[in-house]
């Protein structure tokens, strides 16, 4: 007879289990949601947080690195939320949907463009409507989705009507307020057939804050729809961010995802995409600006399911100080996904001797008529290029800044939105002023 010892939970895991037990009776949602919450926390009790023994967490030993679990942040009162909304510095003139400590404040939201509707998860539950659309499919090892399922009490539901072409981007503005706390938020988005839309999802924590965030965004892109999603994480130097972006693409749908990380102490951003429909196209562009003692892990799993689907992923990383970065990119091509064309590249610029970056591209192909490839490079600033600029009177720091901007230009300029490109270039200049 085999006897399996019960897992001894770490202090962080114990705190997480206790916090869940204290909150479950106060969280909204029907029977389906409650069952999902129970199942999520039971998995945590049984398996704990992942260690490097699990292949997908090999470079990020979450059980060791997440050494604490903070108290759950309360919903701010309307006065505090209004002050925070007034102080919020917009990147662009998007139609903003503000969320503070994981709670959506519809009263402080901008008017949505034609064809776009938005409401909170709490409002769905209060109206007694079916909330099953908020339940996402999780496998046994999906720890970020499990934590989010166990704790999210609010979120934003967005619907874009068929054929709509909103004149403004929709901004999902998530801010962490107050002392060091934990918050969870979930966004559920459905884009109708033939629609075109842009979303800007932004996560901000004060630089002095050790706030912890667990965020999940799930989007369904309808047949022939064209969506651009910009995901920006700007946590403080002591903040932890566990994020997950999930997408399903229908026939001839196109999704372009820009992921940009500018801060945080411990960051794990997962990208899970299914190109289900024939002719679906997924484009990923990523920029990771890592400094201090940050550990940032971007992990992607892309499933090509439909016939003739295409994808291209380009990741650019700039790493300095004692920061460590990770990109894991797995492309899986189903047996029926003939004529798939998938490309992936990860390029890294190391600016200090103590900085590190690990790249792990993977291809898993079951079809026999495909064109797939991947590559990764790690390098330093070219001494000849630096000397060329300095010999023409450019100061060293400015020369380094120009070379780094040139390294990133291909990614940022792919946005094709002048206002957003300008805002991000200012943000990049700010990062370099602090870390260059």
The set of residues, in sequence order, having a beta carbon less than 8 Å from that of 74 and lying 6+ positions away, is: 101
Q: What is the DSSP letter of 382?
A: -
d(CA 4, CA 391): 68
Band (pLDDT 50/70/90 cuts) for residue 101 is very high
pLDDT value of position 5: 59
Concatenate the DSSP letters of all residues of 314-357 into one string. Answer: EEEEEE-TT-EEEEEEEEEE-TT-TT-EEEEEEEEEE-STT-EE
Q: Mind listing the pLDDT tens digit for each residue in 335-355?
A: 999 999 999 999 999 999 999
Task: State the pLDDT at residue 1.
Answer: 44
Question: Radius of gyration (Cα) for the chain, nearest Å?
Answer: 21
431 pLDDT more than 70: yes
pLDDT in tens, 62-86: 999 999 999 999 899 999 999 999 9
Compute the distance between CA of residue 253 and CA of residue 276 in angstroms, rounded to an integer: 9
Q: For position 23, what pLDDT does the model report?
A: 72
Q: Taking all residues of the chain, what is their mean pLDDT, rounded to a whole number?
A: 91
- Tell me the pLDDT band of 153, cut-offs 50, 70 and 90: confident
Mean pLDDT (whole number) for 142-146: 91
Q: Report which of residues 169 and 208 the model is more confident about.
A: 169
Report DSSP state, residue 91. S
H or E element in which residue 412 lies: helix 396-413
- pLDDT at 3 (0 to 100): 47
- pTM score above 0.85: yes
pLDDT of residue 233: 95
Per residue in 227-264, pLDDT tens? Answer: 999 999 998 888 999 999 999 999 999 999 999 999 89
Provide the pLDDT for residue 390.
93
At residue 338, the pLDDT reads: 96
283 pLDDT above the threshold of 60: yes
Query: What is the percent of the chain with per-residue pLDDT over 70, rounded to a whole number?
Result: 95
pLDDT for residue 6 is more than 90 = no
Given this model, what pLDDT does residue 62 score? 96
The per-residue pLDDT for range 358-376, each reduced to its tens digit, is: 999 999 999 999 999 999 9
* 148 close to 186: Cβ distance less than 8 angstroms: yes
Q: With beta carbons less than 8 A apart as the criterion, state whether 148 and 74 touch.
A: no
Number of Cβ within a 10 Å radius of residue 349? 21
Contacts 24+ apart (CB under 8 A), 8-11: 9/45, 9/48, 10/48, 10/49, 10/63, 10/67, 11/67, 11/68
Task: Report whether pLDDT(24) > 70.
Answer: no
Each residue's pLDDT tens digit, 316-338: 999 999 999 999 999 999 999 99
DSSP code of 156?
E
CA distance 405 to 194: 35
> Rounded to an integer, what is the distance from CA 305 to the centroid of its chain?
23
Burial 251-281 (b: 16+ CB within 10 A, else e): bbbbbbbbbbbbbbbbbbbbbbbbbbbbbbb
What gap in Å lies between CA 282 and CA 301, rounded to an integer?
12
């Amino acid at each position: 007879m085999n006897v399996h010892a019960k897992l001894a939970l770490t202090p962080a895991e114990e705190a997480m289990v206790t916090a869940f037990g204290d909150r479950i009776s106060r969280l909204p949602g029907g029977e389906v949601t409650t069952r999902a919450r129970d199942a999520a926390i039971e998995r945590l009790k049984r398996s704990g947080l992942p260690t490097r023994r699990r292949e997908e967490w090999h470079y990020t030993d979450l059980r060791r690195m997440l050494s604490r679990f903070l108290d759950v942040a309360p919903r701010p009162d309307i006065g505090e939320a209004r002050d925070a909304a007034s102080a919020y510095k917009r990147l662009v003139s998007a139609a903003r949907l503000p969320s503070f400590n994981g709670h959506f404040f519809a009263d402080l939201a901008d008017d949505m463009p034609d064809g776009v509707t938005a409401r909170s998860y709490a409002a769905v539950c209060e109206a007694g409507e079916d909330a099953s659309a908020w339940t996402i499919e999780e496998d046994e090892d999906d720890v970020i989705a499990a934590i989010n399922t166990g704790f999210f009490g609010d979120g934003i539901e967005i619907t874009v009507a068929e054929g709509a072409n909103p004149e403004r981007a929709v901004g999902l503005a998530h801010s962490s307020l107050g002392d060091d706390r934990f918050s969870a938020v979930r966004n559920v988005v459905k884009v109708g057939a033939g629609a075109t839309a842009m979303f800007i999802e932004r996560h901000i924590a004060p630089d002095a804050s050790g706030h912890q965030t667990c965020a999940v965004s799930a989007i369904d892109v309808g047949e022939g729809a064209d969506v651009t999603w910009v995901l920006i994480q700007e946590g403080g130097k002591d903040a932890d961010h566990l994020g997950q972006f999930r997408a399903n693409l229908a026939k001839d749908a196109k999704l372009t995802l820009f992921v940009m990380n500018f801060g945080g102490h411990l960051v794990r951003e997962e990208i899970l995409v299914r190109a289900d429909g024939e002719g679906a196209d997924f484009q990923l562009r990523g920029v990771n600006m890592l400094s201090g003692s940050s550990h940032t892990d971007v992990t992607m799993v892309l499933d090509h399911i439909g016939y003739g689907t295409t994808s291209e992923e380009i990741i650019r990383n700039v790493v300095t100080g004692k920061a460590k970065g990770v990109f894991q990119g797995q492309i899986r091509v189903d047996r029926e996904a003939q004529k798939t064309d998938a490309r992936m590249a990860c390029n890294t610029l190391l600016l200090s001797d103590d900085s590190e970056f690990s790249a792990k591209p993977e291809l898993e192909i079951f079809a026999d008529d495909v064109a797939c490839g991947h590559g990764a490079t790690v390098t330093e600033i070219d001494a000849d290029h630096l000397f060329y600029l300095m010999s023409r009177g450019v100061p060293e720091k400015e020369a380094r800044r120009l070379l780094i901007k040139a390294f990133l230009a291909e990614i940022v300029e792919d946005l094709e939105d002048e206002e957003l490109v300008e805002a991000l270039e200012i943000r990049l200049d700010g990062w370099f002023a602090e870390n260059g």
